[in-house]
Amino acid sequence: MDLLILSQFVLAGLSAGAVYALIALGFGVVHNATGIVNFAQGDFLVIGAFVAYSVLVSWGMPYWLAFLAAVLSASLVGLLLERLALSRARSKEILLLVFITVGASIFLRGIIKEIWGKRPLILPPVGDAREISLGVFAIDPQYLWIIGITLLAFVLLHFFFRYTLWGKAIRAVAVDAQAAALMGIPVPWVVAASFALAGALGGLAGVLIGPVWPLSFESGVHIGLKGFAAAVLGGYGSFGGALLGGFLLGMLEGLGAYLVSSFKNLIAYGVLLLVLLLRPQGLLGGKAEERL
């Protein structure tokens, strides 16, 4: 029985880790293109989830349309953040730009609260909500959807970064923005595309986690910080590090919830502190070939 309960906690932790991985990748995409930490990344998740809720519940549309609306709306918010705020800032100092993202996060939370209210919302389940029985094990299919779609998203992104013109442009700007500009790459629009991609990743994470976790207008802060911890754990800016850090952090949270449930939410911040103290480059940090 203990093994059965433990497996449930680990599976739930891995599904949460998949969401952290998407958020971590969003942090990495923006950081590689601009050098800043986008503290509005978690709010993209809430926007995506709440837009999907409106599409599904308020308008009665199918789930595939909710996925599309969540990703596109969060992507648009990311694009507008870069075009209307960051690109127009008089100073290009990193610290000031980071403060702008903090202000944008506060602004977005206010907009979300005004549109959808303070009450936590939860999305309808994706597909069949009945548990899958494997002998004595019962698996919630929502967890499988989260993990499966996240892995598919990472595979698609791998091909995007490796084999498409815009993907290669983002990687070139991440390596050296000045050299990329000299080669004719439109750096400002590549940076804007990076924010749009980060928003899309956040929106996808929101619509995936929405059926499992009730989300409120403030949820983006907590989930965003855990995604940041996953990014630091794996290696900030590393593609593989985002995936590894997310799943590892989620599994640690699952095990922590099984052993000492009251300390579950402290694990991410404890891991973040330890990594910054002992290995600030992260598990896969410092390997240029693994960066986005």
Residue 287: pLDDT over 70: no
CA gap 67, 204 in Å, rounded: 7
| Per-residue model confidence (pLDDT) at position 207 | 94
Cα distances (Å, whole numbers) of residue 276 to 33, 259, 284: 22, 25, 14
Task: Name which of 41-50, 71-80, 149-158, 163-172 the model is least confident about.
Answer: 163-172
Q: Of 77, 79, 80, 50, give the one whose Cα is nearest residue 66.
A: 50
Domain count, the chain: 1
| Per-residue model confidence (pLDDT) at position 109 | 95
pLDDT, tens digit, for every residue of 83-134? 999 988 877 788 899 999 999 999 999 999 999 999 999 999 887 667 776 6
Beta-bridge partner residues of 58? none
Residue 139: pLDDT over 50: yes
| Per-residue model confidence (pLDDT) at position 289 | 42
Residue range of the domain that includes 232? 2-290
| Per-residue model confidence (pLDDT) at position 206 | 94
SS (H, E, C) the chain: CHHHHHHHHHHHHHHHHHHHHHHHHHHHHHHHHHCCCCCCHHHHHHHHHHHHHHHHHHCCCCHHHHHHHHHHHHHHHHHHHHHHHHCCCCCCCHHHHHHHHHHHHHHHHHHHHHHHCCCCECCCCCCCCCCEEECCEEECHHHHHHHHHHHHHHHHHHHHHHHCHHHHHHHHHHHCHHHHHHCCCCHHHHHHHHHHHHHHHHHHHHHHHCCCCCECCCHHHHHHHHHHHHHHHHCCCEHHHHHHHHHHHHHHHHHHHHHCHHHHHHHHHHHHHHHHHHCCCCCCCCCHHHEC
Residue 1: pLDDT over 70: no
CB 169 within 8 A of CB 180: yes
CA gap 138, 141 in Å, rounded: 9
| Per-residue model confidence (pLDDT) at position 284 | 80
| Per-residue model confidence (pLDDT) at position 263 | 67
Q: What is the mean pLDDT of residues 274-284?
A: 83
pLDDT, tens digit, for every residue of 228-259? 999 999 888 888 889 999 999 988 888 877 77
pLDDT, tens digit, for every residue of 37-82? 999 999 999 999 999 999 999 898 999 999 999 999 999 999 999 9
Residue 268: pLDDT over 80: no
Q: Of 291, 126, 261, 100, give the one whose Cα is nearest residue 206.
A: 126
pLDDT, tens digit, for every residue of 183-233? 888 988 999 999 999 999 999 999 999 999 999 999 999 999 999 999 999
We report the CATH number of the domain holding residue 156 as 1.10.3470
pLDDT, tens digit, for every residue of 20-30? 999 999 999 99
How many CA within 13 A on the CB side of residue 110? 6
